Amino acid sequence: MSADQGENIRDLLGMRSRAAYWIVGFYILAAATCALSTLDGVDPVWPIPVAVCATAAAAIAVVTAPGDPLHRRWAMALTTVGPITCGLVFSAVPVPLTSPLQTWPLGMSVAIYTFMCVRGRTLMAWIGLGSSIAIAVLWAALTGQGAAYGLSFSLVNAAPLLMSTFFAFTIRPLGRSIFELRRQATAQTATEAAAAAVLDERDSQLARLDALARPMLERTVFGPDLTPDDAMACILLEADLRDTLRARGLVDPVLQESVRAARRRGVGVVLLDDRAGVELPANVRSRIIASAAEHVDGIVSGSATVRLLPADRPVLATILVDAHETYRVEYAHDGSSSSP
């Protein structure tokens, strides 16, 4: 899965939603409440707010930190949250504890580690929990309460992490399957849309061809004979149809009207689009169309070629006029033209 652009386990679980941030806020509030309501016998007090701040920073980071899996530097920092907060709090709490909630860093840090599992850092989460348990056991042993006592109240935190581990091994492969299905659905939708666009364009062109060419074709079959004006109309119609095939990017009512008028005067006008379907910005296209129409309108006799060049050329378009004077106009990619 990609690191942070739409194919992220956080999107699948809603970890970037507003509700997720509300949950983080309640989590931080719960940590602060546990810490501040269990200050009886705590000495010194300063390690407690420091531990709360570290826990709050970790909660925010586990939701907002980029990467899937979670970037290693973030994972390493989050791994240290449990041991650090446990060390700070256990250095200040009384012996024996005046409240079971004075071991709050263990429960709060395991919540961080469960989300680390979901975000692809299961091993580092277990290292963090193991280090936290070791701190609790060491504190209990050094204070004469026995290592077994420290193990008894700290080891229970392995249960939620174990469940999150199994959950992560299930949801992450499932997430990859979901994202793959999403990509396939998007590709299929794009293919269907392109096919529909092709069919719509075909129907549009058939309707246009039917409206323009059918009356003239019926006239040639059923009579009466074509007049010189009818013959000229046939020539202009053939040229219009050729333009729609060879110069799609130049098909515009303004330019078409100028080209038809020039062809009636006997001017040979050729329109070419060699951009291979690469669309022009609307403002650039309108500038080129208006300029080309102006040049074509000024030709009394001779020929003109209007061409859109391939997209990788340094020049966007050209007009070559061969009349009473011969000149060439070049258009930059912003639509500006050189003087003829």
Answer with the residue of higher pLDDT: 321 or 9.
321
Give a yes or no: residue 202 inside a domain.
no
Boundary (domain end) residue, out of 150, 183, 216: 183
How many structural domains compose the chain? 2
Asked if residue 275 belongs to a domain, the reply is yes
Q: Is the pLDDT of residue 5 over 50?
A: no
78 vs 177, higher pLDDT: 78
**Same domain, residue pair 52 and 176:** yes
Domain boundary at 183, 198, 216, which?
183
Of 230 and 21, the one with more pLDDT:
21
Q: Are residues 240 and 326 in the same domain?
A: yes
Look at residue 199 and tell me if it is in a domain. Answer: no
pLDDT at 190: 84
Residue 1 has pLDDT above 50, yes or no: no
Q: Which residue has the higher pLDDT, 152 or 208?
A: 152
Q: Which domain range does residue 243 map to? A: 226-340
User: Average model confidence (pLDDT) for the chain?
Assistant: 85
Calculate mean pLDDT across residues 100-120: 90
pLDDT at 12: 62
Is 38 in the same domain as 155?
A: yes
Do residues 138 and 231 both lie within one domain? Answer: no
- Does 146 map to a domain? yes
Contact 138, 121 (CB under 8 A): no
The pLDDT of residue 75 is 92
Does residue 209 form part of some domain? no
Residue 188 lies in a domain: no
Instruction: Provide the pLDDT for residue 14.
Output: 62
pLDDT class of 128 with cuts at 50, 70, 90: very high
Residue 201 has pLDDT above 80, yes or no: no
pLDDT at residue 78, as a whole number = 94
| Over residues 163-175, mean pLDDT | 78
pTM: 0.55
Report pLDDT for 206.
74
Please indicate, yes or no, whether residues 60 and 175 belong to a single structural domain of this protein: yes
Asked whether the predicted pLDDT for residue 145 surpasses 70, the reply is yes
The predicted structure's pLDDT at residue 54 = 95
Residue 28 located in a structural domain:
yes
Q: Which of 151, 183, 215 is the last residue of a domain?
A: 183
Q: Are residues 258 and 333 in the same domain?
A: yes
Residues 169 and 266 grouped into a single domain: no
- What's the confidence (pLDDT) of residue 212? 66
Model confidence band, residue 2 (pLDDT cutoffs 50, 70, 90): very low
- 133 assigned to some structural domain: yes
**Residues 293 and 163 placed together within one structural domain of the fold:** no
Question: For 6-61, what is each residue's pLDDT tens digit?
Answer: 556 666 666 677 888 898 999 999 999 999 999 998 999 999 999 999 999 999 99
